[in-house]
Chain A
């Protein structure tokens, strides 16, 4: 499976076999409170298992600056 992020910088990882979203986030040292995990037009929860040729985006949800 292909795991990727677009921000803060484009990054990409490849995982083999069956992996839970929770284990992927743990391996990448990503706090699940700060991201959403997107597969197609839906979201994955930590216990969801991904495998095969799927593409999964890990998208940070945290923004900042001068206020909106």
Chain B
């Protein structure tokens, strides 16, 4: 198989583009697709300060690498979620990437330990309350990414969501005909009213392409999957879409981008409800207390009870049982994340 650009030995075939590339031209193709997504969806400009949400996985580290290569002002935030050996290994990958590839380009790494900042971790959330670990994890990440971005003056948060992620989400929303979610699905979530803009610059690239880019450019990522993601519904959707892709190359791209170009415009985006500031942390929320502070208070309440966890009080009043405004070490619901540049923060925990 030959590179369509130079006729040299190809290292990857992209059937959806009816193309194959050598290492050099695949890297060029990949970076071009990221640049095209940024421009196509007007994600950010050269002067914007970008906070990349990194996990230690291939997508987020590759995204950080490419944004820096393209000359953007991209720092990163890593959240230590406390998922046993997986988090320890992820932390190591992120720190090494920062030291070897990002810091030399002037980029900072911020690290927040969920346990140190808020008094619980994802494993404890799983063990102590009847909340799916991915739910607690997702809520925590969305909250902390936004809070750190706002507090530190970033213009935009960039995540490593890719074509497979977005096509799988679209399939899930179509299967349920979830019209409000469908109307909001777009590679840019606008900011304002306390929310920082969120963007997905890898939306034109598949997970396979991102993995290939990582290997070919020497990005050392955590290959192992999060133990809590095993059996996730998103895997089922991705498997279905990849079976379709195998039979009909380009199907995933067509499914997602035709939705962007034709389907979504037929849907009405519902106005966000009126937002106010969370009583404890000041983050935007439609209620009196934001979802993250409610979850934090419930978790800390459970963790304080020996052997607790059998019952879960889902009422917002649960938040009132913990001390509002408690310092980080006491892990009250209003505790602020301790996000420090990695070069200053030392150990995560």
Contact = CB atoms under 8 A, between A and B. Distances in A.
B211 A59 contact: yes
Contact of A65 (B53, B134, B159, B242): B134
A61 B225 contact: no
B31 interface: no
Contacts of A8: 225, 230
B109 to A, nearest CB: 16
Contact of A68 (B57, B212, B216, B224): B57
B1 interface: yes
Contact of B208 (A34, A42, A64, A68): A34
A47 B12 CA distance: 10
Contact of B228 (A6, A43, A65): A65
**A interface, over-half SS:** loop
B11 A45 contact: yes
Report, as a range, how many residues of chain B touch the other chain.
35 or more
Contacts of A61: 58, 206-208, 210-212
B211 A45 contact: no
Secondary structure class of chain B's binding surface, majority of residues: helix
Nearest to A34: B242
A52 interface: no
What range describes how many residues of A lie at the interface?
A: 20 to 34
Given A63-B229, A65-B137, A66-B137, A45 B12 contact: yes
A62 B207 CA distance: 6
A26 B159 CA distance: 34
Contact of B159 (A33, A35, A48, A67): A67
Contacts of B212: 36, 43, 61
Nearest to A32: B246
B212 to A, nearest CB: 5
A45 B161 CA distance: 25
Contacts of B12: 36, 43, 45
Contacts of B168: 64
B156 interface: no
Contact of A6 (B58, B207, B223): B223
> Which 8 A-B residue pairings sit nearest by Cβ, starting from the closest?
A66-B138, A65-B229, A61-B211, A64-B234, A66-B134, A64-B232, A61-B208, A43-B11
Given A31-B242, A35-B208, A42-B216, 15 more contacts: A8-B225, A36-B212, A36-B215, A42-B11, A43-B212, A46-B13, A59-B223, A61-B206, A61-B212, A62-B207, A64-B168, A65-B137, A66-B141, A68-B55, A68-B57
